[in-house]
Protein backbone atom coordinates (compact mmCIF):
# COMPACT_ATOMS: atom_id res chain seq x y z
CA UNK A 1 0.00 0.00 0.00
CA UNK A 2 1.21 3.49 -0.83
CA UNK A 3 1.65 5.40 2.43
CA UNK A 4 3.19 8.57 1.00
CA UNK A 5 -0.16 10.01 -0.09
CA UNK A 6 -1.74 8.86 3.17
CA UNK A 7 0.92 9.31 5.89
CA UNK A 8 -1.52 8.14 8.55
CA UNK A 9 -1.25 4.67 7.03
CA UNK A 10 2.47 4.29 7.62
CA UNK A 11 1.76 1.90 10.50
CA UNK A 12 -1.68 0.56 9.61
CA UNK A 13 -3.48 -1.10 6.71
CA UNK A 14 -6.85 0.65 6.71
CA UNK A 15 -7.61 2.13 3.25
CA UNK A 16 -7.29 5.88 2.94
CA UNK A 17 -7.83 8.39 0.13
CA UNK A 18 -6.16 11.79 -0.26
CA UNK A 19 -9.08 14.16 -0.92
CA UNK A 20 -8.19 17.76 -1.71
CA UNK A 21 -4.88 17.19 0.07
CA UNK A 22 -6.36 15.71 3.25
CA UNK A 23 -6.04 12.06 4.24
CA UNK A 24 -9.52 10.57 4.46
CA UNK A 25 -10.03 7.03 5.80
CA UNK A 26 -12.42 4.86 3.81
CA UNK A 27 -14.09 3.39 6.91
CA UNK A 28 -16.89 3.09 7.75
CA UNK A 29 -18.04 3.01 4.12
CA UNK A 30 -19.17 -0.35 2.73
CA UNK A 31 -16.95 -1.90 0.00
CA UNK A 32 -19.63 -1.22 -2.63
CA UNK A 33 -19.87 2.49 -1.72
CA UNK A 34 -19.22 4.71 -4.73
CA UNK A 35 -16.72 7.54 -4.62
CA UNK A 36 -19.67 9.90 -5.13
CA UNK A 37 -21.46 8.77 -1.97
CA UNK A 38 -18.17 8.62 -0.06
CA UNK A 39 -17.42 12.27 -0.90
CA UNK A 40 -20.91 13.58 -0.27
CA UNK A 41 -21.09 11.85 3.11
CA UNK A 42 -17.99 13.84 4.05
CA UNK A 43 -19.56 17.18 3.15
CA UNK A 44 -18.18 17.55 -0.38
CA UNK A 45 -21.59 18.13 -1.90
CA UNK A 46 -20.33 19.85 -5.04
CA UNK A 47 -20.12 16.30 -6.41
CA UNK A 48 -23.69 15.57 -7.51
CA UNK A 49 -25.72 12.55 -8.57
CA UNK A 50 -27.68 13.16 -11.73
CA UNK A 51 -28.06 9.80 -13.46
CA UNK A 52 -26.00 7.29 -11.42
CA UNK A 53 -24.87 5.59 -14.65
CA UNK A 54 -22.11 7.80 -16.03
CA UNK A 55 -24.10 9.78 -18.59
CA UNK A 56 -24.47 13.27 -17.08
CA UNK A 57 -21.08 14.10 -15.55
CA UNK A 58 -22.51 15.89 -12.51
CA UNK A 59 -20.31 13.65 -10.36
CA UNK A 60 -17.01 14.35 -12.16
CA UNK A 61 -13.85 14.51 -10.01
CA UNK A 62 -10.12 14.60 -10.78
CA UNK A 63 -7.78 11.69 -10.01
CA UNK A 64 -3.97 11.69 -10.31
CA UNK A 65 -3.06 8.89 -12.72
CA UNK A 66 0.07 7.80 -14.63
CA UNK A 67 0.62 10.34 -17.39
CA UNK A 68 1.16 9.94 -21.12
CA UNK A 69 3.35 13.01 -21.70
CA UNK A 70 4.17 13.81 -18.06
CA UNK A 71 4.63 11.59 -15.00
CA UNK A 72 1.11 12.44 -13.81
CA UNK A 73 -2.11 13.35 -15.58
CA UNK A 74 -5.14 14.85 -13.87
CA UNK A 75 -7.91 12.59 -15.16
CA UNK A 76 -11.63 13.30 -14.82
CA UNK A 77 -13.77 10.29 -13.90
CA UNK A 78 -17.38 9.58 -12.98
CA UNK A 79 -17.39 9.32 -9.19
CA UNK A 80 -20.82 7.67 -9.34
CA UNK A 81 -19.30 4.55 -10.95
CA UNK A 82 -15.95 4.14 -9.20
CA UNK A 83 -15.94 2.23 -5.89
CA UNK A 84 -14.38 4.44 -3.24
CA UNK A 85 -12.21 1.47 -2.24
CA UNK A 86 -10.66 1.54 -5.73
CA UNK A 87 -9.16 4.93 -4.82
CA UNK A 88 -7.23 3.62 -1.82
CA UNK A 89 -3.90 5.46 -1.67
CA UNK A 90 -4.88 7.73 -4.58
CA UNK A 91 -5.21 11.51 -4.86
CA UNK A 92 -8.62 12.99 -5.61
CA UNK A 93 -9.52 16.62 -6.27
CA UNK A 94 -13.15 17.75 -6.18
CA UNK A 95 -14.60 21.05 -7.37
CA UNK A 96 -14.14 22.39 -3.84
CA UNK A 97 -10.42 21.61 -3.97
CA UNK A 98 -9.64 23.57 -7.13
CA UNK A 99 -9.79 27.03 -5.56
CA UNK A 100 -6.69 28.37 -3.82
CA UNK A 101 -7.11 29.02 -0.12
CA UNK A 102 -5.60 32.33 0.97
CA UNK A 103 -4.84 33.87 4.34
CA UNK A 104 -7.28 33.25 7.22
CA UNK A 105 -10.34 35.45 6.86
CA UNK A 106 -9.95 35.87 3.10
CA UNK A 107 -12.07 34.23 0.42
CA UNK A 108 -10.45 31.45 -1.67
CA UNK A 109 -9.18 32.53 -5.08
CA UNK A 110 -11.19 30.93 -7.85
CA UNK A 111 -9.48 28.50 -10.19
CA UNK A 112 -9.08 29.91 -13.74
CA UNK A 113 -11.71 27.48 -15.01
CA UNK A 114 -14.13 28.56 -12.27
CA UNK A 115 -13.38 32.21 -13.00
CA UNK A 116 -14.15 31.84 -16.71
CA UNK A 117 -17.37 29.92 -16.05
CA UNK A 118 -18.54 32.76 -13.82
CA UNK A 119 -17.39 35.49 -16.22
CA UNK A 120 -18.97 33.91 -19.31
CA UNK A 121 -22.29 33.03 -17.64
CA UNK A 122 -21.70 29.31 -17.83
CA UNK A 123 -23.70 28.52 -14.69
CA UNK A 124 -27.38 28.99 -14.02
CA UNK A 125 -29.04 26.61 -11.56
CA UNK A 126 -25.54 25.32 -10.77
CA UNK A 127 -26.38 21.64 -10.38
CA UNK A 128 -24.20 20.51 -13.29
CA UNK A 129 -21.54 23.20 -12.82
CA UNK A 130 -19.11 21.39 -10.46
CA UNK A 131 -18.98 18.42 -12.84
CA UNK A 132 -18.30 20.68 -15.80
CA UNK A 133 -15.62 22.44 -13.77
CA UNK A 134 -13.77 19.18 -13.04
CA UNK A 135 -13.98 17.94 -16.63
CA UNK A 136 -12.78 21.34 -17.87
CA UNK A 137 -9.95 21.34 -15.34
CA UNK A 138 -8.73 17.96 -16.60
CA UNK A 139 -8.55 19.37 -20.13
CA UNK A 140 -7.03 22.61 -18.79
CA UNK A 141 -4.13 20.59 -17.38
CA UNK A 142 -3.71 18.31 -20.41
CA UNK A 143 -0.02 18.61 -21.43
CA UNK A 144 0.44 20.38 -24.75
CA UNK A 145 -3.10 21.75 -24.87
CA UNK A 146 -2.17 25.38 -24.94
CA UNK A 147 1.08 26.87 -26.16
CA UNK A 148 -0.05 30.42 -25.30
CA UNK A 149 1.28 31.92 -22.06
CA UNK A 150 -1.08 32.38 -19.14
CA UNK A 151 -3.03 35.60 -19.48
CA UNK A 152 -3.46 35.30 -23.26
CA UNK A 153 -7.05 34.09 -22.91
CA UNK A 154 -8.53 37.59 -23.38
CA UNK A 155 -6.46 38.09 -26.51
CA UNK A 156 -7.87 34.84 -27.84
CA UNK A 157 -11.40 35.61 -26.72
CA UNK A 158 -12.08 39.20 -25.58
CA UNK A 159 -14.47 39.43 -22.66
CA UNK A 160 -18.01 40.24 -23.68
CA UNK A 161 -17.63 39.49 -27.39
CA UNK A 162 -20.12 36.63 -26.99
CA UNK A 163 -18.39 34.44 -29.57
CA UNK A 164 -15.05 32.71 -29.74
CA UNK A 165 -12.76 33.43 -32.65
CA UNK A 166 -13.03 30.73 -35.30
CA UNK A 167 -11.03 27.71 -34.12
CA UNK A 168 -9.26 25.28 -36.42
CA UNK A 169 -12.34 23.06 -36.30
CA UNK A 170 -15.72 23.01 -34.61
CA UNK A 171 -14.54 20.89 -31.69
CA UNK A 172 -11.32 22.68 -30.70
CA UNK A 173 -10.88 26.18 -29.37
CA UNK A 174 -8.14 28.65 -30.32
CA UNK A 175 -6.55 27.72 -26.99
CA UNK A 176 -6.40 24.04 -27.98
CA UNK A 177 -9.33 23.07 -25.74
CA UNK A 178 -10.93 19.83 -26.97
CA UNK A 179 -14.70 19.94 -26.51
CA UNK A 180 -14.74 16.14 -26.37
CA UNK A 181 -13.52 16.67 -22.80
CA UNK A 182 -17.09 17.81 -22.02
CA UNK A 183 -18.91 15.17 -24.07
CA UNK A 184 -19.95 13.37 -20.87
CA UNK A 185 -21.33 16.47 -19.13
CA UNK A 186 -24.97 17.52 -19.52
CA UNK A 187 -26.55 20.89 -18.73
CA UNK A 188 -30.34 21.29 -18.58
CA UNK A 189 -30.75 25.05 -18.32
CA UNK A 190 -27.74 27.21 -19.24
CA UNK A 191 -27.24 26.12 -22.81
CA UNK A 192 -23.86 25.12 -24.04
CA UNK A 193 -22.54 28.24 -25.76
CA UNK A 194 -21.49 30.11 -22.59
CA UNK A 195 -19.89 26.91 -21.29
CA UNK A 196 -18.04 26.52 -24.58
CA UNK A 197 -17.05 30.19 -24.43
CA UNK A 198 -15.58 29.62 -20.96
CA UNK A 199 -13.67 26.56 -22.20
CA UNK A 200 -12.27 28.47 -25.17
CA UNK A 201 -11.23 31.38 -22.93
CA UNK A 202 -8.89 29.66 -20.48
CA UNK A 203 -5.18 30.19 -21.03
CA UNK A 204 -2.22 28.07 -19.97
CA UNK A 205 -1.69 27.23 -16.29
CA UNK A 206 0.46 29.74 -14.45
CA UNK A 207 3.98 28.74 -13.46
CA UNK A 208 3.05 28.61 -9.77
CA UNK A 209 -0.11 26.55 -10.35
CA UNK A 210 0.11 23.78 -7.73
CA UNK A 211 -1.87 21.23 -9.74
CA UNK A 212 0.17 21.94 -12.86
CA UNK A 213 3.40 21.44 -10.90
CA UNK A 214 2.02 18.20 -9.47
CA UNK A 215 2.10 16.69 -12.98
CA UNK A 216 5.91 16.64 -12.89
CA UNK A 217 5.96 14.21 -9.97
CA UNK A 218 5.11 10.51 -10.07
CA UNK A 219 1.50 9.56 -9.28
CA UNK A 220 0.70 7.46 -6.21
CA UNK A 221 1.70 3.83 -6.61
CA UNK A 222 -1.16 1.32 -6.75
CA UNK A 223 -2.16 0.29 -3.25
CA UNK A 224 -2.54 -3.39 -2.41
CA UNK A 225 -5.95 -3.31 -0.77
CA UNK A 226 -8.07 -5.75 1.18
CA UNK A 227 -11.09 -4.03 2.66
CA UNK A 228 -13.86 -6.05 4.32
CA UNK A 229 -17.03 -4.86 6.01
CA UNK A 230 -20.39 -6.53 6.61
CA UNK A 231 -19.41 -9.66 4.70
CA UNK A 232 -18.28 -7.83 1.54
CA UNK A 233 -14.67 -7.53 0.40
CA UNK A 234 -12.83 -5.31 -2.09
CA UNK A 235 -9.40 -6.62 -3.10
CA UNK A 236 -6.53 -5.28 -5.20
CA UNK A 237 -3.43 -7.46 -5.44
CA UNK A 238 0.11 -6.40 -6.37
CA UNK A 239 0.60 -8.81 -9.26
CA UNK A 240 -1.21 -10.80 -11.91
CA UNK A 241 -0.07 -14.09 -10.34
CA UNK A 242 -1.60 -13.15 -6.97
CA UNK A 243 -4.80 -12.02 -8.67
CA UNK A 244 -5.15 -15.23 -10.68
CA UNK A 245 -4.63 -17.30 -7.55
CA UNK A 246 -7.35 -15.32 -5.78
CA UNK A 247 -9.76 -15.77 -8.70
CA UNK A 248 -8.98 -19.48 -8.72
CA UNK A 249 -10.01 -19.58 -5.06
CA UNK A 250 -12.97 -17.21 -5.53
CA UNK A 251 -14.57 -17.98 -8.92
CA UNK A 252 -17.64 -16.02 -7.76
CA UNK A 253 -15.64 -12.76 -7.54
CA UNK A 254 -16.59 -9.80 -9.73
CA UNK A 255 -13.61 -8.43 -11.66
CA UNK A 256 -13.53 -4.66 -12.26
CA UNK A 257 -11.21 -2.25 -14.01
CA UNK A 258 -12.84 1.13 -14.72
CA UNK A 259 -16.12 -0.15 -13.22
CA UNK A 260 -18.06 1.64 -15.98
CA UNK A 261 -20.31 -1.42 -16.35
CA UNK A 262 -20.38 -2.85 -12.81
CA UNK A 263 -20.94 0.62 -11.35
CA UNK A 264 -24.24 0.85 -13.24
CA UNK A 265 -25.27 -2.55 -11.90
CA UNK A 266 -24.52 -1.42 -8.35
CA UNK A 267 -26.41 1.86 -8.69
CA UNK A 268 -29.38 1.04 -10.89
CA UNK A 269 -29.97 -2.64 -10.15
CA UNK A 270 -28.67 -2.62 -6.55
CA UNK A 271 -26.28 -5.48 -7.34
CA UNK A 272 -23.87 -6.44 -4.61
CA UNK A 273 -20.93 -8.85 -4.64
CA UNK A 274 -19.34 -10.73 -1.79
CA UNK A 275 -15.94 -10.16 -3.41
CA UNK A 276 -14.84 -7.52 -5.93
CA UNK A 277 -11.35 -7.81 -7.41
CA UNK A 278 -9.76 -4.76 -9.06
CA UNK A 279 -7.30 -5.35 -11.93
CA UNK A 280 -7.01 -1.81 -13.32
CA UNK A 281 -3.54 -1.13 -11.88
CA UNK A 282 -1.89 -4.51 -12.50
CA UNK A 283 1.35 -3.74 -14.38
CA UNK A 284 1.06 -6.97 -16.41
CA UNK A 285 -2.22 -5.67 -17.88
CA UNK A 286 -1.00 -2.16 -18.66
CA UNK A 287 1.64 -2.62 -21.35
CA UNK A 288 1.55 -1.37 -24.93
CA UNK A 289 3.96 -2.89 -27.44
CA UNK A 290 4.19 -1.62 -31.02
CA UNK A 291 5.96 -4.57 -32.60
CA UNK A 292 6.82 -5.03 -36.26
CA UNK A 293 4.46 -8.01 -36.61
CA UNK A 294 1.76 -7.13 -34.11
CA UNK A 295 0.51 -4.53 -31.66
CA UNK A 296 -0.20 -5.71 -28.12
CA UNK A 297 -2.46 -3.60 -25.92
CA UNK A 298 -2.80 -4.27 -22.22
CA UNK A 299 -6.35 -5.13 -21.20
CA UNK A 300 -6.34 -2.65 -18.29
CA UNK A 301 -5.15 0.42 -20.19
CA UNK A 302 -7.96 2.95 -20.37
CA UNK A 303 -9.28 3.90 -23.80
CA UNK A 304 -7.93 7.42 -23.30
CA UNK A 305 -4.45 6.05 -22.55
CA UNK A 306 -4.59 3.82 -25.62
CA UNK A 307 -5.81 6.66 -27.82
CA UNK A 308 -3.07 9.05 -26.73
CA UNK A 309 -0.26 6.49 -26.71
CA UNK A 310 -1.15 5.07 -30.13
CA UNK A 311 -1.58 8.60 -31.53
CA UNK A 312 -3.25 7.38 -34.72
CA UNK A 313 -1.03 4.31 -35.22
CA UNK A 314 -4.17 2.19 -35.76
CA UNK A 315 -6.56 4.33 -37.86
CA UNK A 316 -9.58 2.13 -37.19
CA UNK A 317 -9.14 2.50 -33.43
CA UNK A 318 -8.62 6.24 -33.93
CA UNK A 319 -12.07 6.36 -35.55
CA UNK A 320 -13.60 4.33 -32.73
CA UNK A 321 -12.40 6.33 -29.74
CA UNK A 322 -14.28 9.63 -30.29
CA UNK A 323 -17.51 7.65 -30.77
CA UNK A 324 -17.06 5.42 -27.71
CA UNK A 325 -19.28 6.87 -24.97
CA UNK A 326 -17.72 10.06 -23.56
CA UNK A 327 -14.29 11.23 -22.46
CA UNK A 328 -15.31 10.65 -18.83
CA UNK A 329 -16.15 7.01 -19.61
CA UNK A 330 -13.08 6.52 -21.82
CA UNK A 331 -10.94 7.74 -18.91
CA UNK A 332 -11.98 4.60 -17.01
CA UNK A 333 -13.20 2.06 -19.58
CA UNK A 334 -10.82 -0.63 -20.88
CA UNK A 335 -10.72 -3.02 -23.82
CA UNK A 336 -10.55 -5.91 -21.38
CA UNK A 337 -13.73 -4.76 -19.69
CA UNK A 338 -15.57 -4.14 -22.97
CA UNK A 339 -14.70 -7.64 -24.20
CA UNK A 340 -15.16 -9.24 -20.80
CA UNK A 341 -18.82 -8.20 -20.52
CA UNK A 342 -19.52 -9.90 -23.85
CA UNK A 343 -22.19 -7.37 -24.79
CA UNK A 344 -23.42 -7.66 -28.41
CA UNK A 345 -23.60 -3.87 -28.62
CA UNK A 346 -20.15 -3.02 -27.27
CA UNK A 347 -18.34 -0.64 -29.62
CA UNK A 348 -14.86 -2.17 -29.54
CA UNK A 349 -15.64 -5.79 -30.61
CA UNK A 350 -16.69 -4.93 -34.21
CA UNK A 351 -13.50 -2.89 -34.64
CA UNK A 352 -11.28 -5.58 -33.18
CA UNK A 353 -13.00 -8.24 -35.31
CA UNK A 354 -12.27 -6.21 -38.44
CA UNK A 355 -8.65 -5.91 -37.28
CA UNK A 356 -8.46 -9.74 -36.87
CA UNK A 357 -7.49 -9.24 -33.24
CA UNK A 358 -6.97 -12.00 -30.71
CA UNK A 359 -7.20 -11.99 -26.92
CA UNK A 360 -4.58 -13.33 -24.54
CA UNK A 361 -6.28 -15.20 -21.69
CA UNK A 362 -4.27 -15.74 -18.51
CA UNK A 363 -4.97 -18.32 -15.82
CA UNK A 364 -3.09 -20.10 -13.08
CA UNK A 365 -2.05 -22.77 -15.60
CA UNK A 366 -0.62 -20.28 -18.09
CA UNK A 367 -1.73 -18.24 -21.08
CA UNK A 368 -3.55 -19.00 -24.30
CA UNK A 369 -4.31 -16.87 -27.33
CA UNK A 370 -7.80 -16.98 -28.86
CA UNK A 371 -8.86 -15.25 -32.10
CA UNK A 372 -11.61 -12.79 -31.24
CA UNK A 373 -13.76 -14.35 -33.97
CA UNK A 374 -13.78 -17.52 -31.83
CA UNK A 375 -14.05 -15.82 -28.44
CA UNK A 376 -17.81 -15.13 -28.20
CA UNK A 377 -20.02 -18.20 -27.76
CA UNK A 378 -23.42 -16.71 -26.90
CA UNK A 379 -25.19 -13.74 -25.38
CA UNK A 380 -22.65 -12.32 -22.89
CA UNK A 381 -20.81 -15.64 -22.99
CA UNK A 382 -17.30 -16.50 -24.14
CA UNK A 383 -14.62 -19.18 -24.08
CA UNK A 384 -13.04 -17.52 -21.05
CA UNK A 385 -12.84 -20.06 -18.26
CA UNK A 386 -13.58 -19.41 -14.58
CA UNK A 387 -10.53 -17.79 -13.04
CA UNK A 388 -9.14 -16.53 -16.36
CA UNK A 389 -8.48 -12.88 -17.14
CA UNK A 390 -8.03 -11.09 -20.44
CA UNK A 391 -4.43 -9.95 -20.18
CA UNK A 392 -4.01 -8.27 -23.57
CA UNK A 393 -5.40 -7.74 -27.05
CA UNK A 394 -3.18 -8.46 -30.04
CA UNK A 395 -3.62 -6.86 -33.47
CA UNK A 396 -1.61 -8.35 -36.34
CA UNK A 397 0.31 -6.23 -38.82
CA UNK A 398 0.22 -5.05 -41.54
CA UNK A 399 -2.95 -3.04 -41.09
CA UNK A 400 -5.45 -2.71 -43.92
CA UNK A 401 -5.21 0.41 -46.05
CA UNK A 402 -8.93 1.26 -45.94
CA UNK A 403 -10.58 1.46 -42.52
CA UNK A 404 -13.82 2.95 -41.23
CA UNK A 405 -16.08 2.67 -38.20
CA UNK A 406 -19.74 3.57 -38.61
CA UNK A 407 -21.86 3.84 -35.48
CA UNK A 408 -25.59 4.32 -35.84
CA UNK A 409 -27.11 5.74 -32.65
CA UNK A 410 -29.73 8.28 -31.61
CA UNK A 411 -27.09 10.70 -30.33
CA UNK A 412 -23.84 11.58 -32.01
CA UNK A 413 -21.81 11.01 -28.85
CA UNK A 414 -22.27 9.33 -25.48
CA UNK A 415 -24.85 6.81 -26.66
CA UNK A 416 -25.29 3.08 -27.11
CA UNK A 417 -25.20 1.96 -30.72
CA UNK A 418 -28.18 0.51 -32.54
CA UNK A 419 -25.78 -0.85 -35.15
CA UNK A 420 -21.98 -0.67 -35.33
CA UNK A 421 -20.01 -1.60 -38.44
CA UNK A 422 -16.22 -1.72 -38.78
CA UNK A 423 -14.46 -2.12 -42.13
CA UNK A 424 -10.87 -3.08 -42.90
CA UNK A 425 -10.18 -3.50 -46.63
CA UNK A 426 -7.13 -3.88 -48.81
CA UNK A 427 -7.55 -2.54 -52.35
CA UNK A 428 -5.07 -3.36 -55.11
CA UNK A 429 -5.37 -2.23 -58.74
CA UNK A 430 -9.01 -1.36 -58.22
CA UNK A 431 -9.94 -4.71 -56.71
CA UNK A 432 -10.72 -5.88 -53.20
CA UNK A 433 -7.84 -8.14 -52.23
CA UNK A 434 -9.02 -8.61 -48.64
CA UNK A 435 -12.11 -7.61 -46.67
CA UNK A 436 -12.80 -7.88 -42.96
CA UNK A 437 -16.09 -6.55 -41.55
CA UNK A 438 -17.10 -6.58 -37.88
CA UNK A 439 -20.71 -6.07 -36.81
CA UNK A 440 -22.37 -5.18 -33.52
CA UNK A 441 -26.04 -4.93 -32.60
CA UNK A 442 -27.32 -7.44 -35.16
CA UNK A 443 -26.91 -10.77 -33.32
CA UNK A 444 -26.56 -12.26 -29.85
CA UNK A 445 -22.80 -11.66 -30.13
CA UNK A 446 -20.53 -9.36 -32.15
CA UNK A 447 -19.90 -11.16 -35.46
CA UNK A 448 -17.84 -11.10 -38.64
CA UNK A 449 -19.82 -10.48 -41.85
CA UNK A 450 -18.32 -13.55 -43.52
CA UNK A 451 -20.74 -13.74 -46.46
CA UNK A 452 -20.21 -10.07 -47.31
CA UNK A 453 -16.44 -10.45 -47.05
CA UNK A 454 -16.63 -13.33 -49.57
CA UNK A 455 -18.85 -11.26 -51.86
CA UNK A 456 -16.25 -8.47 -51.93
CA UNK A 457 -12.94 -10.30 -52.12
CA UNK A 458 -11.52 -10.61 -55.62
CA UNK A 459 -14.13 -8.27 -57.08
CA UNK A 460 -13.59 -4.78 -58.51
CA UNK A 461 -14.19 -1.96 -56.04
CA UNK A 462 -17.08 -0.56 -58.04
CA UNK A 463 -20.63 0.65 -57.51
CA UNK A 464 -21.95 -2.60 -58.96
CA UNK A 465 -19.89 -4.75 -56.57
CA UNK A 466 -20.84 -2.61 -53.60
CA UNK A 467 -24.54 -2.71 -54.48
CA UNK A 468 -24.49 -6.50 -54.68
CA UNK A 469 -22.43 -6.86 -51.50
CA UNK A 470 -24.73 -4.41 -49.68
CA UNK A 471 -27.66 -6.72 -50.36
CA UNK A 472 -25.67 -9.53 -48.77
CA UNK A 473 -24.69 -7.37 -45.81
CA UNK A 474 -28.31 -6.50 -45.11
CA UNK A 475 -28.93 -10.20 -44.50
CA UNK A 476 -26.05 -10.74 -42.07
CA UNK A 477 -26.85 -11.58 -38.47
CA UNK A 478 -30.23 -11.91 -36.81
CA UNK A 479 -31.28 -8.33 -35.98
CA UNK A 480 -34.24 -7.84 -33.67
CA UNK A 481 -36.78 -5.16 -32.79
CA UNK A 482 -36.18 -3.25 -29.57
CA UNK A 483 -36.54 0.26 -28.18
CA UNK A 484 -33.42 1.46 -30.03
CA UNK A 485 -34.29 0.31 -33.56
CA UNK A 486 -36.36 -2.16 -35.55
CA UNK A 487 -34.87 -5.21 -37.25
CA UNK A 488 -35.69 -3.71 -40.66
CA UNK A 489 -33.91 -0.47 -39.77
CA UNK A 490 -30.83 -2.33 -38.59
CA UNK A 491 -30.69 -4.37 -41.80
CA UNK A 492 -31.11 -1.25 -43.92
CA UNK A 493 -28.32 0.51 -42.04
CA UNK A 494 -25.93 -2.38 -42.71
CA UNK A 495 -26.38 -2.00 -46.45
CA UNK A 496 -26.17 1.78 -46.31
CA UNK A 497 -22.96 1.56 -44.30
CA UNK A 498 -21.14 -0.25 -47.11
CA UNK A 499 -22.42 2.29 -49.64
CA UNK A 500 -21.20 5.07 -47.38
CA UNK A 501 -17.75 3.49 -47.22
CA UNK A 502 -17.63 3.29 -51.03
CA UNK A 503 -18.63 6.95 -51.32
CA UNK A 504 -15.94 7.91 -48.80
CA UNK A 505 -13.20 6.01 -50.66
CA UNK A 506 -14.13 7.27 -54.13
CA UNK A 507 -14.88 10.89 -53.27
CA UNK A 508 -13.03 13.12 -55.71
CA UNK A 509 -11.84 10.17 -57.80
pLDDT bucket at 508, cuts 50 / 70 / 90: low
Q: pLDDT-derived band of residue 12, with 50, 70 and 90 as boundaries?
A: very low
Higher pLDDT, 212 or 410: 212
pLDDT band at 406 (very low <50, low <70, confident <90, very high): very high
The rounded distance, in Å, linking the Cα atoms of 135 and 59 is 10
- Residues 485 and 418: their CA atoms lie apart, in Å, by 6
Q: Name the fold adopted by 283-396.
A: 3.30.465
Confirm whether 1-221 and 283-396 share one CATH topology: no
| pLDDT at position 6 over 60 | no
Give mean pLDDT, residues 157-161: 40
Mean pLDDT within 302-321: 97
Residue 347 has pLDDT above 60, yes or no: yes
- Beta strands 232-236 and 275-278: pairing type? parallel
pLDDT of residue 163: 43
DSSP class of 10: G
Measured CA to CA, the distance from residue 461 to residue 464 in angstroms comes to 8
Q: At residue 104, what are phi and psi to the nearest 5 degrees?
A: -50, 135
Share of the chain above pLDDT 90, in %: 86
Q: Which helix (H) or strand (E) holds 210?
A: helix 210-214
Mean per-residue pLDDT, 459-485: 95
Return the domain boundaries, the chain.
Answer: 1-221, 283-396, 402-506
Helix (H) or strand (E) segment spanning residue 395: strand 389-396
Whole-angstrom distance, CA of residue 239 vs CA of residue 286: 12
pLDDT bin (cut points 50, 70, 90) of residue 270 is very high
**pTM for the model:** 0.92
Question: What mean pLDDT value characterizes the chain?
Answer: 92
Residue 509 — pLDDT band, cuts 50, 70, 90?
low
Q: Picking from 110-124, 139-153, 161-175, which range would have the lowest pLDDT averaged per residue? A: 161-175
Q: Looking at residue 102, what is its pLDDT? A: 67
pLDDT (mean) for 369-394: 97
Strands 254-256 and 376-378: unpaired
- 162 to 129, 132, 150, 182, 195: CA distances (angstroms): 20, 20, 21, 20, 11
Q: Which CATH code of 3.30.110.30, 3.30.2350.10, 1.10.150.300, 3.10.20.30 fits the domain covering 1-221?
A: 3.10.20.30
Options 3.30.390.50, 3.20.20.70, 1.10.1750.10, 3.90.79.10; CATH for 402-506 is 3.30.390.50
Amino acid sequence: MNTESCPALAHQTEPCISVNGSDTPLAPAAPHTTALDFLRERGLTGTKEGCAEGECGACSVLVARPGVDKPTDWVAVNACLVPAAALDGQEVITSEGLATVGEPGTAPALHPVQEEMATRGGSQCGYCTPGFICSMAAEYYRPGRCEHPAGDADAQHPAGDGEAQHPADAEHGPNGFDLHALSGNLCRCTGYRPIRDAAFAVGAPAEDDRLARRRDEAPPAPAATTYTRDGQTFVRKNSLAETLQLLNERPDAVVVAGSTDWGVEVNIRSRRADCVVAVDRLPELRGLDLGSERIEIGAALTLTEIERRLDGEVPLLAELFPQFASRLIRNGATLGGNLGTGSPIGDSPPVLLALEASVVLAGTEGEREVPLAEYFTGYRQSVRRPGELIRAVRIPRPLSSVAAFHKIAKRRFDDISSVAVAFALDLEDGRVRKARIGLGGVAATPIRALATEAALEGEPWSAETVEAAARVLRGEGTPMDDHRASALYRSAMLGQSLKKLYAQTTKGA
